[in-house]
Structure 1
Amino acid sequence: MCSLQHLKDVICRRDFNFDNPHLDLDKFHPQLKIVLFSNGNFFNNTESKFRFILPAVSSSLAVVGLVLEAMVMYHGLSEKDYAVATESFCYCILLSAIPVVNLSVLANKAKIINLLGKMNDDFKYICTLDQKYKRPFLHGQLLIWQLCYVWFIFTSIVASMFPVTCIVELTYQSLFATQNENTVRPLAYPLWLPNDDPYRSPNYEIFLVIQVTITFNFVQTYCVFIYVLFHTLLHYYYLMKLIFLDFEVLFDGLDETVSRLSPCNPRRIAVQLTLNKRMKRIVNWHTSVLRSVELLSSIFGPPLVFQVVFSSIAICLVAYQIADYLDHGKIHFLFVLLFSATCIQLWIPCYLGTLLRNRAFEIGEACWRCGWHETPLGQLLRSDIIILILRAQQPVSIKFIGLPKLELETFSSIISTSYSYFNILRQY
C-alpha cells in the first residue's frame, strides 16, 4: 500500500517545488535525457564513441530477431500455415522499426541537442514570468510527466506479457502436464530452424533469452521514440497557449490618446515601443513553434514514414490473429493487448498533429479578435497584425518526404486501409 502511495506521489509530483524560479527542462523532466541516452545521445561528451554501443547492440538484436522470424514466415508459407506466417510477418514489421529509429536518432544528434536546447530556453524563460503564464505551462508539463509514466507502464505491461505467458505455460507443464500430452515448451514468438529443433536444450534456453531481450529492446527503442515525439509536440502545444494570453493583454494599460499625437512625440514613441515589445514576444513564440516542429520533422521523419506506411499492415495482421483464435473459440489476450498498443502508437502522433494544427489556426483568429479594431492603438500595430495573421495560415504539422500530414484524418485512413487488408486476408 505504501509503495502504491509513493508511486502516486511521484506521478503527481506532490513533493516538487513548482514555485522555484530557476526551474529548467532537466529539473522537471530528467527522464528525457535518460531515455535519449539509451538511444545513443550523450549530452556531456557528445562526441564519445561509446554512444554507438547501445544502438549497435539494439539494432543487431533486432536484425537477429528479424532473420529468425523471416525463416518462420518462409516455413509457414511453405507448409500453408498462414496463421504462423502472418504472425511472423507482423513481428518482422515491428522489429524493422528498431534500426530505423536508431539510425535516425544517431544521424540527427546535433539537431536533437539543438531541439532540447530550445525547449530548455522556453522552460527557463517562462518560469521567470508571473503566475498567469507559469501556472498553465507547468500544468501542461505535469501532464506530460504523467503521460510519460502511463505510456511506459502500458508498453512495459504489453512487453512483459510475452515472457509471462511463457513462464505460466512452463509452470503448468512442469506441475500438471503428463507425458501423454506431447507438450512443447513455449517461446515468446514462433520459431523454426531448417536443420535443427529450436525447442531442444540448450537451443530453447538460448532462444528464449534472446526473444525476451528483443521484446524489451523494442520498448527501449521504439516506445522511447513515441514518448520523445509526444513530449515535444505537447511542449509546443502548451507554448502556443501562452500566445493567447499575450493577445488578451496586448493593449492593456496603454494610453489610447497617443494615437492622435505626432509619430515623433515621446509619449507616442514610448507606447509604440511597449506595443512592439509585446508583439515581439508573440512573434518569437510563434516562430519558435514553427521552427521547432520543422526541426522535429527532420529528426524523426524516417521513423514516422515507416510508422505510417507499415502500421496498416501491422494492425491488419494482429487483427487477423485475433480473428483466427476467435474462429477456434479462443481469445488470445496477448494479441488483444498488442492490437491496442499498435493502434495507440499511431493514434498518438495523429491526434497531437490535429491539436497543433487547430491551435495554430486559432492563433490567427486570436490575433484578429485581440481588440485592435476597438482601440485607436490598433493602427500602431496594423502591419504587424496583418503579417502575423498571414503567417498563422501556415499549418503547423510534421512534414517529411513521403509522409502525409499527421492528423486524425490520416489515422482514420490507415485504419480503413487495415480493415480492407483484413477482409482480403480473411477471404484468401
Structure 2
Amino acid sequence: MALFIKNLKAFINKENFDFENPHITLKAFHPQIYIMYMINGIFFNNRNSKIRYVYPMLNTTMALIASAFQMMFMYRGVTIEDYAFASESFCYVVILGTAPLVYISTLYNTDIIITQLNEMDKDFIFISSLTTKHRDHFLKGQLIIWQLCLAWFAFCTVVCGMYIVNTFVLLFHYSLIATQDEHMIRPLIFPMWLPEDDPYRTPNYEIFMFFQIVLISIIYQNFCGYVYIQFHILIHYYTIMDVIILDFEDIFDDLDESVVDLKKDDSRRVEVQLILNSRMKRIVQWHISVIKSLDTLSSVYGPPLVYQVMFSSVAICIMAYQVVNQLENGKVDFLFAMLWFGACVQLWIPCYLGTLMRDKIMSSSYSYFNMLRQSTKD
C-alpha cells in the first residue's frame, strides 16, 4: 500500500519527468490534451481521414436520440404532475445537449485548433530553453494544469461511476436479497417510460441498460474533455502572462546604462538597443499570442460556452429542487446531489479562470508602467 501511494504521488507530481530538459514539448508534458482532441475527431497524423468523423457522429446520434427520449419523459412527467421525473429528465437533456455542440465546434474549427496547439508547443520549446526563473514559473503552472486535469477526471469518474455502481447494487439487491413482497422492479440508470410498452421487461430492460451505460460513457468523454480543454488553455496562457511580467521586471537587467550618453550611431549603444528591442519584441509577441488564444477559445468553444452558461443556471436550480424534494420525502438523493455539485463546479471553472486572466492582464499593465517609471528615473 505504501508503495502504491508513493507511485501515485510520483505520478501526480510528475517526479519522473525531466524538468531540466531544454527541449520540452507540449506532447511530452501533456499527452492527454492530444487524446481528448483525438476523441473529439481531430487526427494529428492523418488529418484528412474520413474515419475521424465516425466516432463523433455515432456519439452525436446517440445523444440526440437520448435527448428525444428525455423530452418525451419530461412531457410525461408534466402531464401526470410528477415534476420530480420531469425535472430530472430536463437536467439530462441539458447535459446531453452539450455533446453535439462540442463535436460540431471542434470538427468545424479543426485547423484553428491544430494551429493553437502548435503555438502552445512553441511556447514549451522556447520557454524550456530560457533561464531557470522563467522555466520554473512556466513549468510550475503546467504542473498545476496536469494535477487539475487528474483531479477533474477523478471527480467526473466518481460521479459517472456512481450512477452505474448504484444501479448494479440495486440490481444485486433485487436479484439476490429482495423478497417478493417488496414489489421491486429492476432498476435502470435513468428512469424511463414508454407509451405502449414496459421498458423494464425483457428484452427491453437489457437493451436500455446497455445504451444507458453507453450514454454515461459519451457524457464522460465529451463533457469532461470539453471542460478540461477550457481550463488547460486558459491556465496555459495565464502562465504565459507570468512570464511576460518576469520579462518586464528583467527588461533592463545586464544592460549598460552608460550608453545613453553616447551618440545614436555608436556601436555600443546600437548593440544595447538591439538587445532591448529583442526583449520588447518577445513581450509583444507573447501579448499577441495571448490575445489570439483567447479569440480562438471564444470562436471554437463560444457556442458550447454560451449554452453551458445559459442552461447550467436553470439546471442547477432544478437539481437543487430535486434534492430538496427527495429530502422532504425522507430520502437522500446523493447521485443528484453529486451531479448538482459537478454542475456548479463546471460553471464556476470558466468564470473563475476568466477573472484570473483579467487580473493577470491588469498585473502585466502595472508591470509595464513600473518599467516605464524605472526607465524615466534612470
Same structural fold, with TM-score higher than 0.5 when normalized by the shorter chain: yes
Give the aligned residue type for 1:100: L
Equivalent residue, structure 1, for 2:89: 88
CA contact (8 A) 1:322 1:336 kept: yes
Within 2, Cα distance between the matches of 1:244 and 1:24?
22
Give the aligned residue type for 2:59: S
- 1:369 is paired with a residue whose SS is helix
The percentage of counterpart residues that share the same residue type is: 47
Q: 1:396-407, aligned counterparts within 5 Å?
A: none
Correspondence 1:300 to 2:296? no
Within 1, Cα distance between the matches of 2:321 and 2:103?
29
- Of the two structures, which has the highest relative contact order with CA contacts closer than 8 Å and spacing of 6 or more? 2
* Higher mean C-alpha displacement, 59-68 vs 2-11: 2-11
Q: TM-score, normalised by structure 2?
A: 0.97
Equivalent residue, structure 2, for 1:342: 343
Q: Which runs of at least 4 in structure 1 moved beyond 6 Å after TM superposition? A: none
Give the aligned residue type for 2:354: G
Deviations 1:97-153 (A, max 9, x none): 111111111101001101100000001000111211111111111111111111111
Within 2, Cα distance between the matches of 1:155 and 1:109?
26
Within 2, Cα distance between the matches of 1:141 and 1:255?
35
Q: 1:309-388, aligned counterparts within 5 Å?
A: 309-370=310-371, 372-375=372-375
CA contact (8 A) 1:322 1:332 kept: yes
- 1:190 is paired with a residue whose SS is coil
Equivalent residue, structure 2, for 1:177: 178
Within 2, Cα distance between the matches of 1:118 and 1:377?
37
Change (3 A) 1:94 1:376: closer
Within 1, Cα distance between the matches of 2:8 and 2:66?
34
Within 1, Cα distance between the matches of 2:123 and 2:224?
26
Within 2, Cα distance between the matches of 1:375 and 1:40?
51
Within 2, Cα distance between the matches of 1:255 and 1:35?
49
Q: 1:194-273, aligned counterparts within 5 Å?
A: 194-273=195-274
Within 1, Cα distance between the matches of 2:320 and 2:215?
22
The structural deviation recorded for 1:356 is: 0.4
Change (3 A) 1:277 1:3: same
Give the aligned residue type for 1:184: I
Equivalent residue, structure 2, for 1:47: 48
Aligned length: 377
Give the aligned residue type for 2:183: N
Equivalent residue, structure 1, for 2:165: 164
Within 2, Cα distance between the matches of 1:376 and 1:153?
52
Change (3 A) 1:365 1:198: same
* Higher mean C-alpha displacement, 268-277 vs 302-311: 268-277
Within 1, Cα distance between the matches of 2:198 and 2:335?
25
Deviations 1:329-384 (A, max 9, x none): 221110110011000001011110000011011111111112x4344697xxxxxx
Equivalent residue, structure 1, for 2:15: 14
Deviations 1:65-112 (A, max 9, x none): 112211111111111111101111111111111111111111010011
Within 1, Cα distance between the matches of 2:66 and 2:374?
66
Deviations 1:312-339 (A, max 9, x none): 1110111111011111122111011001
CA contact (8 A) 1:256 1:375 kept: no
* Higher mean C-alpha displacement, 197-206 vs 175-184: 175-184
Equivalent residue, structure 2, for 1:61: 62
Q: 1:86-165, aligned counterparts within 5 Å?
A: 86-165=87-166
